[in-house]
Amino acid sequence: MTAMAMFRDALERDPNSSDAASGIATCHWHDTINNWSSDQAKSGEAAMRRAKQAVEMDETNYSALGTVSIIQTFGEHDISGAEVTARKSVAMNPSDILIRHYLVCSLEFGGKFDEAVEQCKTMMALDPCAPSLSVLCGDLSTCLLLSGNPKEAVEYSYKSMEADPSYSRGRQRLIAALVAAGDLKAAEQEYMTLQRDMPSFSLDYVKRTYPFVHDKHFAAYSGYFAQVGVQ
């Protein structure tokens, strides 16, 4: 809420600030993806509205364009559109790892796992100490898992949790990877922790926030959670 208030104050002081509008969009998106909002649909709509406003204010704002991309992925489930938008954003600033991460998300859920893995490795080379390392390793884990490398997926899931033990989506990815690797007992223990930290986690949440384009990928991923009792 503090970040949202600051971005709103910035936009009030300068109504033409593309960065302020983009910041508000990002806050709305986090409210949606992290289940912080009491009305996720409303927050998602507000996120996209503000992100598009930011781009209209300044079409060269690669960060705002990237925000549109990530909302296309998680808010609208328009994965192909998100990939196009993210590539435009990355072309504007190839060194920005956050924007490149948005591209990874569109590739991940579009089933382009090999390229997603390469993009993740590029991000790690650009900034080995990136603050988003937990999220990066989590996405890398899922890409490896669904491309047939469950053991390596487990390794990166643990790296995700080491970087941020409170990252609930990292724990979700760890559970899936452990089930796929055949360690059901460890997966069940991790699920107990997840239930404590995120009691609202369900297969419906997986469907809403893991927008795989291909049914076979969603079926496989949700199937891992079902094996530990997620309903």
Residue-wise pLDDT for 180-203, tens only, equals 999 999 999 999 999 999 998 999
Q: For the chain, what is the mean pLDDT?
A: 92
Q: Is the pLDDT of residue 97 over 70?
A: yes
Residue 1: pLDDT band (50, 70, 90) is low
d(CA 222, CA 231): 10
pTM: 0.88
For the stretch 55-75, pLDDT in tens is: 999 999 999 999 899 989 988
pLDDT at 38: 78
